[in-house]
């Protein structure tokens, strides 16, 4: 096999961009031997060309103008590692228009404009647009969904896809840290509001379930209301609290109807997702034929993410030299079922007056609002008396009506934020 040189233009030399260059240096010989592809980095764009870098890159190859990289006659393929929506969208569109394959790790861009970019890659000179690193860093999730599970009637994909929030919840659970302490110890850009996970959920929905979903269509709740007490109570009842991105097929087989949400959930300690600790990520997949499977690993970090980017670069390079693009069909918008129309089991904590009859009254309110109780425990006494309920599956509307009625009872002093229970 004759060797073929493929010249890369890299946009962004931050955490991932620099890790990618280091990996290309380390793996160059192996890649050449196994694929015949001679990868070289000919140009790179950064915001500040004078900033010191950990990798060697010739000063003449660096520019602050991303478009110069994209349009350079010395660049065959563009690797976008800047992040954000603009100017990256303009760069990616221009590269695709020129027929240059694009590899990106940019979740914001794909979650907002994925379907348009898929179409742009398929139009004109069909070319590859690959983004393995965008959802779960080093975990090969996109290929699993898009290729290995192409024939699978996927039912649900649930992921711990934000390492920072999982780290915070693990600190609270394993070391008794308060939310404030765990937050202070974590990266201050922690995506505790759930929006990072929501962008990833939108991409999982679009790639895995066949209809496009944007991040603005994802129902999101973050973890900032979770207390160390919630985590302790959950653990003593046999659950861990995890921030989950959940995409599920709803409606009839063959319909493009999905539910896509991100929220904290109580997961049974026996469920594989409950044992995913610290900043690790994992994605649990349920299919009609394959059953259950889980992918676990590093969802972020320079080298894990760089590894996934390099895998894409090699695939796109092999396609480029053989004139074959990574084909991806255009996707129509999915129908997204609102959270309010879903059913879940719930955990509800109710602070009550500690006297006979109160439990029966409170339980009666659940029943009269169509919410059936699976288990109940009483904790504390006197001023600290609490009833902890786990319900069977109920509609979000019925649960909301239950909470409204409970709040009107004189003997109910406070109601905790309900948590959905997932994974029985």
Rounded Cα distance between 210 and 206, Å, is: 6
The residue among 203 and 350 lying less far from ligand NAP, judged by its C-beta, is: 203
Q: Residue 135 CB, nearest distance to ligand NAP (Å)?
A: 8
Residue among 89, 100, 200, 242 flagged as catalytic: 200
In angstroms, the Cα distances linking 218 to 55, 151, 175, 307, 344 are 38, 25, 32, 28, 17
Residues that bind ligand NAP (CB under 6 A): 11-17, 45-48, 51, 66, 81-83, 87, 105-107, 133, 137, 300-301, 305
Active site residue 107: no
Beta-strand (E) ranges in 46-179? 62-63, 77-80, 102-104, 129-130, 154-160
**Residue 249: strand pairing partners:** 258
Instruction: Look at phi and psi of residue 342 and say left if phi exceeds 0, alpha if psi is from -120 to 50, else beta.
Output: beta
Q: How far is the CB of 220 from ligand NAP (least distance, A)?
A: 17
Rounded to a whole number of angstroms, the minimum distance from the CB of residue 85 to ligand NAP is 10
Closest CB to ligand NAP among 9 and 416?
9
296 beta partners: 282
Cβ distance to ligand NAP smaller for residue 43 or 107: 107
Measured from the CB atom, the residue of 300 and 352 that comes closer to ligand NAP is 300
CB of 81: closest distance to ligand NAP in angstroms?
4
As measured in angstroms, the least distance from the Cβ of 418 to ligand NAP is 32
State the nearest-atom distance from the C-beta of 26 to ligand NAP, in Å.
18
Cβ-proximal residues to 188 (8 Å cutoff; 6+ apart), any chain:
none
Taking the mean position of all CA atoms in its chain, how far away is CA 22?
26
Q: What is the DSSP letter of 389?
A: E
**For ligand NAP, the closer CB: 54 or 414:** 54
Strand ranges, E, within 28-173: 37-45, 62-63, 77-80, 102-104, 129-130, 154-160
Dihedral sign, CA of 282, 163, 160, 314? negative
- Residue 312 or 315: the one with the smaller Cβ distance to ligand NAP is 312
Q: Which residues of 382-421 are buried (b: 16+ CB within 10 A; e: fewer)?
A: eeebbbbbbbeebbbebbebbbebbeebebbeebbebbbb
Residue nearest to ligand NAP (CB): 14
- Residues that are catalytic: 200
């Amino acid at each position: 096999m004759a060797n073929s040189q493929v010249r890369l233009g890299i946009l962004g030399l931050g955490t991932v961009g620099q890790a990618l260059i280091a990996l290309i240096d380390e793996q160059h010989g192996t890649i050449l031997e196994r694929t015949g592809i001679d990868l070289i980095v000919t140009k790179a764009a950064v915001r500040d060309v004078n900033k010191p870098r950990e990798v060697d890159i010739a000063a003449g190859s660096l520019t602050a103008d991303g478009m110069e990289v994209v349009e350079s006659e010395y660049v065959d393929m563009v690797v976008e590692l800047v992040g954000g929506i603009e100017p990256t969208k303009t760069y990616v569109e221009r590269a695709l228009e020129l027929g240059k394959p694009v590899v990106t790790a940019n979740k914001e861009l794909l979650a907002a404009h994925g379907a348009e970019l898929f179409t742009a890659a398929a139009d004109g000179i069909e070319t590859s647009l690959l983004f393995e690193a965008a959802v779960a860093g080093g975990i090969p999730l996109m290929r699993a969904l898009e290729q290995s599970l192409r024939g699978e009637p996927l039912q649900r994909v649930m992921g711990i896809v934000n390492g920072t929030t999982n780290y915070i919840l693990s600190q609270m659970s394993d070391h008794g840290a308060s939310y404030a302490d765990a937050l202070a110890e974590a990266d201050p850009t922690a995506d505790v509001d759930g929006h990072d996970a929501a962008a990833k959920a939108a991409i999982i929905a679009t790639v895995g379930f066949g209809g496009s979903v944007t991040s603005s269509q994802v129902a999101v709740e973050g973890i900032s209301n979770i207390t160390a007490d919630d985590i302790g109570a959950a653990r003593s009842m046999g659950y861990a609290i995890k921030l989950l991105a959940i995409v599920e097929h709803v409606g009839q087989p063959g319909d493009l109807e999905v539910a896509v949400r991100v929220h904290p959930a109580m997961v049974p300690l026996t469920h594989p997702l409950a044992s995913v600790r610290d900043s690790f990520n994992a994605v649990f997949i349920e299919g009609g034929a394959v059953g259950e499977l889980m992918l676990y690993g590093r969802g972020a970090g320079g080298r894990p993410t760089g590894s996934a980017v390099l895998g894409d670069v090699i695939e796109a390079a092999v396609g480029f030299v053989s004139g074959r693009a990574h084909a991806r069909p255009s996707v129509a918008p999915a129908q997204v079922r609102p959270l309010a129309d879903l059913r879940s089991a719930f955990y509800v904590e109710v602070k009550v007056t500690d006297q006979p009859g109160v439990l029966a009254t409170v339980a009666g309110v659940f029943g009269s609002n169509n919410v059936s109780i699976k288990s109940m425990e009483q904790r504390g006494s006197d001023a600290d008396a609490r009833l902890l309920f786990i319900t069977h599956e109920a509609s979000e509307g019925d649960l909301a009506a239950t909470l409204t009625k409970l709040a009107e009872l004189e003997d109910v002093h406070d109601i905790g934020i309900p948590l959905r229970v997932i994974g029985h």
